[in-house]
Structure 1
């Protein structure tokens, strides 16, 4: 049996010659017959001419009679860099994009594949180029690009076909390029969906590769590196390869595959990739002890309906057991275990030797505990068996191929692939908005953190977005004030069709105001103050102003005509204003002296108000009395005081939170802290502050009204479906993720619990109560906040925080894990008498025994997807790990809960018990007794309908 762990996997996957023609293998597992090796890259760089290429030396630009080209080349490089970069930022004739990241020189051709590797300048606008000092590393791993600045940095791969499947491969070799001898760890994202954590590896010269197969929803895809620690993300190479839409049926709009293994069996050296594999998959060689190698030089056929299209060169070799009674066993020890929902196995078979008369080769496959039906490979035709539902194996995975009782020949296998499933269910920003704001970014050369998806957790500075559960986010507000913008107003703003607010004030904009902006259906405010615009307000915008649907601010544009046909510029009007303003100013000066004395007396009283820096509506106490009908309807109460239901003059429903007159100083400080926080955080899953009251006697905060109350009540009293519960959990997690990653500085809530998660009339969840939240500054390399006193709620309190007094984002993760357990079980954080134990202890006892149904809230009456429940329980278990390093981030939690929701939604109308039935055409000679006992968890695929018959 072949057994490898995930650390070996990193080395195997590590571009072991991806694009290189010479490899030395150090066989670490000869006793198990596995070619699971570290790769030592040697100098194999050759140009298409066949000459060695030393990247440490610059190439000559001009030689011999071509000296006159040098000035021309330098001139073209100076005047048109953007155009040249854009021309290179296109797929080649195969649809391939092949980048050597950080490459300082020109493109080069790999001597083995004849693929051209390009510099990455045209695909990202951030980062620093570095070389690896060791002279033996050439080509792909001789350079890299690091990203010391910003939390998220992205590559944009363009000119793709929306809805198509693509293979994306990212390559990494640290090589101690920075002299710190500290390999970094960071996260990889495909668009807005988490892909993989790239963590430290210590072997000298070790390389690492991660590969994914995903469906791309737009005509571009972004690959992002997200900083998660004090180390610096980097990348050595990035590749994209198009696949047919029929390939890898496990991949769809909400689910992708991340590569773990791809082996060509029966081969001891030489990997297979492009051009033998037209999709440039890399098939590593593997020979397994106690098996026999067979091969053929005849072509192994694929059909037009082939779902995997394994190259013939891979299928021309195979291994068989020594006799029919022996099994072929493939085993993998994956550390850490791939995340839920688990792994997909694809096993490839072809009969490559003519069989004697009356000989039969028939077998069945077993992956972990799931058994497939009987299978007979066809002569010189590709076939595949794969599990339709992902498998979980607690880090241990085994595939067994066993001959049936009817078989006279031993089992066979030619190749296999192993993946784990990743979620791609999260929506990215509407592609039209992305294209528009990207064009605006390019036009004005925006250098702030405008990278990746505009509306994701790392929302671009100055943008606000609207998100919906079933629709893609839209940009609703663009604030580019004081951004040193030059040139005219781009008409591309008109493509942001959901925008309501545009602020371009105090820049250096010139030219006229484009009338195309009047076509924006939702635009309500356009601020052009403090520019150098000329011309007049265009008629379309003037009409919107007259209709009362648009407000334009245009002061301090001296050459702008603001009165239509009566065109007097602001500069001309200013002369007339001087004659009027002088006597008025004298009068005002006298009045001002009187007013100043009065204001100085009020200053101390107003200091407390100004320290809040609130920009929301200020209410009088009398207005709140009227809104709440003299504070009649109490909807909540705590140590701070009471919350009242109210209705404003426009019938807006509000919740008014007022401290009691006897509240201690600490409560008042928390009250003011909440006001301070709520003025600067804006997220659809965080409670919104509408306004406040602050006078000599009264303080109050006015929130949006959440008609369904808090989650604690609904868990106790209401019969929520599993879909509603997982949706609430996902939305709450998104709110916390925003606090941890979207705020600057980040915020730790400190009191996450069901009582602080509120629900509106649509049961949409919003996190509330920020009175004891804490902020910390990542720029100072701080990952925690020290506190004098431990605060929080019993049953939700992070044990590590309690012991160390150090507060981290993982403290919120722990508390959220308790909330998730409450949603699953319907029980409180601390179980009442006679147990008096935490919900964590209560559930862990049962889950260790696999008793998931005994944990699930009985009120759901079994109406749920059990895999979704298991996945959620695993997430809760990870969140409530005793030490913070073992817990996921809220970003990880969001990704996992999205998968839980997808599983539950997919359950509707699906009979899961029969979803994986095998095609009966492939079991005509099956052992009936055995076949009837085997589950339908596998899919068998014959790749040819016609062809040479098995003999």
Structure 2
């Protein structure tokens, strides 16, 4: 291996005259969790509290410390929030070299005796992994030398969680010491690069040395070698002011040597149990401590690991004599578990070799390029405008902010922000114009906040697909600029104060799912006023008891949607009879309208825009199903038949069983619901038939059948079992569909019959929620109600016990049912009558709960899961999430947005993912949801998903 050997600073340069040698240029010492500024009486360091640099987390002012000499360990800041990343943002000088040190002292501050594990990053680059369980009663310190970028004015020092993390991240102190530019200048400290300290040794010393003896506040550990080596020392100060690297006099006054004229061998090992190598840079410190020495009395050959490359060392300074420092540096060395340094006396030397100190730095890979700089700049302005400044660090790396999704980093392109989802973040003010600078943005959701003012010009977002601005206080008109976004597929503007008319280009935009309900604005069928006319001429919208007014102007029927209806009137209204030509535009007097979440009073059933349910004749259905020859299923509504339309599309046709007491009501309900909801994880209703007493529903056909049919242990299983990764993906898909019903529709939709047989699979195993026959509208958000009262319906084993006992139906009733589905996914058993060995626990909920409380997860697992050797942390997360979902009281269950987030994390645990989504993940909708999953601080009705008590039993992991 080739070595770079260099002498660090051989002579005084002009910098000496500026007085920068021998002093630290700038030092910021932060005592995390401290209440106020103070000066340590032992070290004389001035410590500042950390609240100036971070706003997240909570502080502990008194942590038991075993070593009273380190006052900065007596407090800490910990981060219990449900976020992935917490960042200190510290001002620094650009194009400068810093020593950055963080300290971590657990001290059982939380009385849990569970030392955490988490990661550390500087800006966008992962630095180290902190596992406090390995340090016992010692503090963990991480120190790095970092060269800041030319354009940098701050450094983000971040603690973050990934699949290897456990517990709550915390930090005790953080120190930034700027050093002279030529210190540690070779070979690694170029712009954006860094070296991480592995060991710093004070040979022959007996005490720790730090500030003020070392003005850079480096921590020098005493290192006394055992026999046959010995130590030497001198009371005479060792001159050190000729070197940028700043040797410390008290460190250089001691050394290790041999009692005889023989080689000195020092271990320099990695501490690893195997022979794995770590690339490192070594800095050797030498000073002659014998006052009687001369230029030839002590010289030796330095050989690292006997590689054949040697350097002749003479610690005696020919000009200055003894008691003068010199430093040698070696780079690109491979340290293994048995590495050594050998110093052999040179011919003619009368004194044995010596060494005063040693620093070992690991050569980390080059710093990871951060997120696109323009995206970062835009997001920083957005965070300030929306009071999101507590979310620090690189928005995408090493892990993204909770409300951001990014494109993967490639060899040629930095990460780009492609999604911002800030639904329900209690945002106020106006929408920042800087959103238009995130030019790679595909999704922007700012719905359900308190934003006001006009919609800004977002025309530069030429890749934007989904824009949700609904349920705010926005005013003004709908801007024409939105018409010039070619990729726009969803535009949700409902429930604002928008006025005027919908731009013609938006009304005619192909494939656009537009919702403007709840605005004093003319709807998609309105004609724009002529010159000089007011924008709302001819439009009068009366909101009385939630009834939508309809105004006939100039003989043209215009449907103008105002506020959403507050009742469920219209659920039983009659549907139009089938037209002989189901693809014919228009209809007899029926108003055109966009699909999506539309008002119930005017469902889009005409099929005029290619998105609504299309009417079919009985003859067409009969032909498509070959006279109903192939039955593929059955339900409460009636049998289901396979069919193929004239255009070749495969369909599933549900035919009403006229003996069903609720067939007609369910028919009207399902057609209207599915005509107003569109989501990738909901089964699409293609058409319907209501003719001559016949009631039929035409759905997309999903080739892989139901999830239940793929669960190995179920008696109903008839198809190939799903592996654990497929089960995770399927669960997330279904959760996203339910989350959309609960948060993307207004009023919300409660499915009321979630079960594994109502979750269908495409040929690529993408899951879609089906069967809306029992669905109900939830309460209006503005009403303040938490539930609706209704007759109990559902399926035994999946039914919410709280709904059963109170008749109070809420979104969390669906959460309970979905929790049972998760238990099926884990166990491969039916909810009841499941063949459990203990008949007293025939209910799957109680069986799994008791097993988990005992720490036993192996016994409940479906063999098809166990045999594919899943990541058990992922399995535990799903099991614990399922148990939380089936809590007896709804208030103790998570929301579906929380369930979505937890399932995403389970997938990351299984994949060992870095946070970026692969193309396969994207095609399977992983990480794409109708709303984000924000865990808002101070939101009292959010359930904190903390399941650690389940894992304290004697589980087999």
TM-score norm. by structure 1 comes to: 0.52
Asked whether the 8 Å contact 2:230–2:256 carries over to 1, the reply is: no
Asked whether the 8 Å contact 1:810–1:889 carries over to 2, the reply is: no
- In the alignment, is residue 440 of structure 1 matched against residue 382 of structure 2? yes
Per-residue deviation at 1:258? 2.7
- In the alignment, is residue 280 of structure 1 matched against residue 178 of structure 2? no
Residue 530 of structure 1 corresponds to which residue in structure 2? 471
**Counterpart-to-counterpart distance in 2, 1:554 and 1:532:** 10
The partner residue of 2:48 within 118, 121, 131 is: 118
- In the alignment, is residue 102 of structure 1 matched against residue 73 of structure 2? no
Per-residue deviation at 1:581? 7.7
Per-residue deviation at 1:149? 3.2
CA offsets, 1:459-495, max 9 Å, x none?
Answer: 3334221123223211112122333322111233234
The partner residue of 2:174 within 225, 238, 242 is: 238
Q: Bigger shift: 278-287 or 326-335?
A: 326-335
CA offsets, 1:391-445, max 9 Å, x none?
Answer: 2323x44322221234333212221112334445544433443444344345434
Asked whether the 8 Å contact 2:240–2:246 carries over to 1, the reply is: no
**Counterpart-to-counterpart distance in 1, 2:312 and 2:131:** 39
Residue 100 of structure 2 corresponds to which residue in structure 1? 168
CA offsets, 1:25-62, max 9 Å, x none?
Answer: xxxxxxxxxxxxxxxxxxxxxxxxxxxxxxxxxxxxxx
The partner residue of 1:377 within 280, 302, 314 is: 314
Residue 139 of structure 2 corresponds to which residue in structure 1? 207
Asked whether the 8 Å contact 1:224–1:452 carries over to 2, the reply is: no
- In the alignment, is residue 259 of structure 1 matched against residue 197 of structure 2? yes
Residue 268 of structure 1 corresponds to which residue in structure 2? 206
- The SS at the match of 2:133 is coil
**Counterpart-to-counterpart distance in 1, 2:286 and 2:117:** 38
- In the alignment, is residue 290 of structure 1 matched against residue 261 of structure 2? no
Gap regions ≥5 residues in structure 1:
1-91, 622-638, 642-656, 658-662, 683-694, 705-744, 751-774, 813-887, 896-951
**Counterpart-to-counterpart distance in 2, 1:382 and 1:567:** 86
Asked whether the 8 Å contact 1:320–1:328 carries over to 2, the reply is: no
- The SS at the match of 1:140 is helix
Cα distance 1:282–1:599, how it changes in 2: closer, same or farther (>3 A)? same
The partner residue of 2:551 within 566, 570, 580 is: 580
Per-residue deviation at 1:290? 1.9
Asked whether the 8 Å contact 1:318–1:415 carries over to 2, the reply is: yes
Cα distance 1:371–1:352, how it changes in 2: closer, same or farther (>3 A)? farther
Task: Say which structure, 1 or 2, has more relative contact order (CA 8 Å, 6+ apart).
Answer: 1
5 Å-filtered alignment, 1:364-443, equals: 364-377=301-314, 379=317, 382-394=325-337, 396-423=338-365, 425-443=367-385
The partner residue of 2:666 within 564, 581, 600 is: 600
Asked whether the 8 Å contact 1:342–1:420 carries over to 2, the reply is: yes
Asked whether the 8 Å contact 1:533–1:557 carries over to 2, the reply is: yes
Cα distance 1:674–1:604, how it changes in 2: closer, same or farther (>3 A)? farther
- The SS at the match of 1:574 is coil
Residue 300 of structure 2 corresponds to which residue in structure 1? 363
Per-residue deviation at 1:323? 4.0
Residue 141 of structure 1 corresponds to which residue in structure 2? 73
Residue 300 of structure 1 corresponds to which residue in structure 2? 240
CA offsets, 1:687-736, max 9 Å, x none?
Answer: xxxxxxxx99x9743599xxxxxxxxxxxxxxxxxxxxxxxxxxxxxxxx
- The SS at the match of 1:389 is strand
Asked whether the 8 Å contact 2:442–2:466 carries over to 1, the reply is: yes
CA offsets, 1:126-152, max 9 Å, x none?
Answer: 222213365985731221222233363
The partner residue of 1:496 within 433, 438, 459 is: 438
Gap regions ≥5 residues in structure 2:
1-22, 504-531, 560-568, 579-661, 688-702, 711-715, 738-756, 767-820, 827-847, 878-907, 916-957
Asked whether the 8 Å contact 2:304–2:310 carries over to 1, the reply is: no
The partner residue of 2:128 within 177, 187, 195 is: 195
**Counterpart-to-counterpart distance in 2, 1:416 and 1:133:** 33
Per-residue deviation at 1:100? 0.9
Per-residue deviation at 1:550? 9.1
CA offsets, 1:510-549, max 9 Å, x none?
Answer: 122334x44445445543233222233556x26736x887
Cα distance 1:668–1:419, how it changes in 2: closer, same or farther (>3 A)? closer
Cα distance 1:493–1:606, how it changes in 2: closer, same or farther (>3 A)? closer
- The SS at the match of 1:483 is coil
- The SS at the match of 1:221 is strand
Per-residue deviation at 1:224? 0.7
Residue 178 of structure 1 corresponds to which residue in structure 2? 110
Residue 718 of structure 2 corresponds to which residue in structure 1? 665
**Counterpart-to-counterpart distance in 2, 1:271 and 1:210:** 17
The partner residue of 2:574 within 578, 591, 600 is: 591
**Counterpart-to-counterpart distance in 2, 1:108 and 1:570:** 69
Cα distance 1:665–1:172, how it changes in 2: closer, same or farther (>3 A)? same
**Counterpart-to-counterpart distance in 2, 1:457 and 1:181:** 29
Per-residue deviation at 1:193? 1.0
- In the alignment, is residue 483 of structure 1 matched against residue 483 of structure 2? no
Asked whether the 8 Å contact 1:193–1:423 carries over to 2, the reply is: no
- The SS at the match of 1:370 is coil
Per-residue deviation at 1:210? 2.2
**Counterpart-to-counterpart distance in 2, 1:421 and 1:403:** 30
CA offsets, 1:263-300, max 9 Å, x none?
Answer: 333443461434x5443222234454523324643523
Cα distance 1:482–1:163, how it changes in 2: closer, same or farther (>3 A)? same
CA offsets, 1:828-847, max 9 Å, x none?
Answer: xxxxxxxxxxxxxxxxxxxx
**Counterpart-to-counterpart distance in 1, 2:573 and 2:237:** 104
Cα RMSD, aligned residues only = 5.5
TM-score norm. by structure 2 comes to: 0.52
Asked whether the 8 Å contact 1:428–1:456 carries over to 2, the reply is: yes
- In the alignment, is residue 127 of structure 1 matched against residue 57 of structure 2? yes
Per-residue deviation at 1:187? 3.4
CA offsets, 1:582-641, max 9 Å, x none?
Answer: 9999999763498996673598999999999744896999xxxxxxxxxxxxxxxxx999
Asked whether the 8 Å contact 1:559–1:569 carries over to 2, the reply is: no
Residue 763 of structure 2 corresponds to which residue in structure 1? 701
CA offsets, 1:794-846, max 9 Å, x none?
Answer: 9xx65xx7xxxx9445999xxxxxxxxxxxxxxxxxxxxxxxxxxxxxxxxxx
**Counterpart-to-counterpart distance in 2, 1:202 and 1:587:** 66
Cα distance 1:464–1:571, how it changes in 2: closer, same or farther (>3 A)? farther
Residue 771 of structure 1 corresponds to which residue in structure 2? none
Residue 157 of structure 2 corresponds to which residue in structure 1? 222
Cα distance 1:168–1:203, how it changes in 2: closer, same or farther (>3 A)? same
Per-residue deviation at 1:101? 1.1
Cα distance 1:301–1:168, how it changes in 2: closer, same or farther (>3 A)? closer
**Counterpart-to-counterpart distance in 1, 2:373 and 2:734:** 30
Asked whether the 8 Å contact 1:260–1:419 carries over to 2, the reply is: yes
Cα distance 1:254–1:337, how it changes in 2: closer, same or farther (>3 A)? farther
Q: How many residues align?
A: 598
CA offsets, 1:303-339, max 9 Å, x none?
Answer: 5xx4x34345544554443343342535668366797
Per-residue deviation at 1:176? 2.9
- The SS at the match of 1:529 is coil
Cα distance 1:427–1:339, how it changes in 2: closer, same or farther (>3 A)? farther
Residue 568 of structure 1 corresponds to which residue in structure 2? 535
Larger Rg: 2
**Counterpart-to-counterpart distance in 2, 1:891 and 1:199:** 24
Cα distance 1:100–1:295, how it changes in 2: closer, same or farther (>3 A)? same
Cα distance 1:674–1:591, how it changes in 2: closer, same or farther (>3 A)? same
